[in-house]
Chains A and B, each alone.
Chain A
Amino acid sequence: MDLKGKKVIVIGERDGVQGPAIEACVRSAGAEPVIVQTQCFV
């Protein structure tokens, strides 16, 4: 998937990959994160 120029909603998981880590990845792929959250599912 080409993320360049896309706006992205990031939902990370506390015990998995957290929001800021996903944010860094999508930024490096040229996307613009508009919301970044980390959720706790337990």
Chain B
Amino acid sequence: MSGSSRQEIKPVVKGVSYFLAHVPSMVRHGSKPSREIGKDSSLLSQILSHLETFEQAVAYPPNQVFIGNLDPDDLLRIPSPLYQNPVPNSSRWGAFGEIMPEEEFYGMLKICDEFQILMMEEDFLKEAFSRLEEHPLFTADDLQKLDNGVSLEQIEKALSEEEAMPVYVQGERLVGCVRSGHEEDFNLIPEILIENLTVKASGVLALRHLLDKLGGAEKVDYLLGCGEEAVGDRYNRGGGNMAKAIGELCGCSAAGGSDIKAFCCAPVHAIVMAASLVASSVFDNAVVVAGGSFAKLGMKFQGHLRHDMPILEDVLAAIAIWVGRDDSKSPVIRLDSIGKHEIGSGSAQQAILDKLVIQPLDRLGLKITQVDKYATEMQNPEVTVPQGSGNVPRTNYRTIGSFAVLRNEIQRDELDRFVEVHGMPGFSPTQGHIASAVPVLGHAVKKIMAGEMENTMFLAKGSLFLGRMTQLSDGLSFLLERNKGNK
């Protein structure tokens, strides 16, 4: 923690990392697939026959954008459908992180399992050991935790006698099971524990990638978790602190932490809070971290089966963002730019965007067209359109562009051009909070640092009404801009 200096401190984004776990064999356990398989068991074979291989997932252009090997706008030059146009010579390793196969990710799950929730088959764990031994982000301490394998018979016995959930690899090969954490606690059933464990494991890997690039795990003062999980028990459902659970496995020994809950816009809330903690000198280094959404695996699978295309929602996506004190070079989070959806704002799209975009820009004296890029809901349309959910990023960009028309900044016939110049194609996995503005942050930091862009506005929305406690929406925004040094 720093001293009590009252000098203004600009919070900057020092680094961003992204992580994808390719887990096609877990698609069957996603919320939508598992409910539909429960109604019609014949769906399982259809799901299994529409899963992607790891090589396909790595070469899938939107995934390459997510890990930083392609720019979002590169997708405009790749013919559709993107899943039929793999990126040649693509790598699992990217400028921002990596895509990990499920055989390795399950090993990470076991490493994260402090309570023997997971029973994994011994031969499978040996395979995982030899794979992770080669991985640069795994330590000897990690690998030691892979020693506790059991026989396949023990796994089958647990599945037949206990409340347990099977774990498969390569579609149908049984390699383990998730056990209950308490015999009478609905909050600790296997289905919830695996959700939480996958968040932890993917969050740890996102944070390890960030620390690998920036160093200084011990310098992290505070971690802000912003995933979609609800860690807790019967007396404190959603009690939380995934942030500390993740930091523990990343060497962040000096960090405190807590979790921020705000549906899909939690990461942007967390970034603004991290920036505020740094600007106010409460902490020097605050890191935002979120693991992936297990429940959303295969969420749109019906549309994909209907169009006989691969089930593309087969990845868990995670992020980590380091917010620190001004270093005269990293892009600045403008704390005078924050736009917020207020309780009294109303829920119409126009009201939300007025609060998130127009009012902050008016305050800064900027035109809509003076923001180089907008980062909004970045869901990959190839995932959502087949199920009738539309092209969400384009809808949002057109609405922002419509405001520019209304304010006479552009002509009506320039709307498509506005979307092309100030927007970008959706490329994010439909992982809720992960898709909401933050997938653009790595690209924005990179381009601003390279002098290719001046600024980017991040705006995220949350659907609070889904929890049945309020009809309200939510939203938060901030402007990221080039660091002008001491000028």
Contact = CB atoms under 8 A, between A and B. Distances in A.
Interface of A: 13-18, 20-21, 38, 40-42
Main secondary structure of the interface of B (DSSP, over half): mixed
A42 B389 contact: yes
Contact of A42 (B348, B349, B435, B473): B435
Nearest to A40: B463
A42 to B, nearest CB: 5
Contacts of A41: 384, 387-390, 392
Contacts of A17: 349
Nearest to B435: A42
Contacts of A18: 347-349, 473
B432 A20 contact: no
Contacts of A13: 390
Q: B379, B384, B387, B389 — which one has the most chain A CB atoms within 10 A of its CB? A: B389
A11 to B, nearest CB: 12
Interface in B332-347: 346-347
A37 B390 CA distance: 18
A41 to B, nearest CB: 4
Interface string B413-443: 0000000000000000010100100000000
Contact of A15 (B388, B390, B465): B390
Given A21-B348, A41-B389, A42-B384, A16 B463 contact: no
A41 B390 CA distance: 9
B130 interface: no
Contact of B466 (A15, A16, A20, A40): A40
Given A40-B463, A42-B432, A16 B348 contact: no
B20 to A, nearest CB: 18
The 9 closest A-B pairs by CB, nearest first: A40-B463, A41-B389, A42-B379, A15-B392, A21-B348, A15-B395, A18-B347, A14-B463, A42-B430
A17 B466 CA distance: 17
Interface in B174-212: none
21 contacts: A14-B463, A14-B473, A15-B377, A15-B390, A15-B392, A15-B396, A15-B461, A16-B349, A16-B395, A18-B348, A18-B473, A38-B473, A40-B463, A41-B387, A41-B388, A41-B390, A41-B392, A42-B384, A42-B389, A42-B392, A42-B435
A38 B390 CA distance: 15
Contacts of A42: 377, 379, 384, 389, 392, 430, 432, 435
Contacts of A16: 349, 390, 395
Contacts of B347: 18, 20, 38
A40 B379 CA distance: 13
A17 B398 CA distance: 13
A21 B387 CA distance: 24
Interface string B338-364: 000000001111000000000000000
A40 B389 CA distance: 9
Given A15-B377, A41-B387, 4 more contacts: A15-B461, A18-B349, A41-B389, A41-B392
A16 to B, nearest CB: 6
Contacts of B430: 42
Interface string B385-405: 001111010011000000000
Nearest to B376: A15
B476 to A, nearest CB: 15
A41 B432 CA distance: 10
Contacts of B396: 15
Contacts of B379: 42
Interface in B22-38: none
A40 B377 CA distance: 12
Contacts of B461: 14-15
A33 B463 CA distance: 22
Nearest to B393: A15
Nearest to A36: B471
Q: A20, A21, A42 — which one has the most chain B CB atoms within 10 A of its CB? A: A42
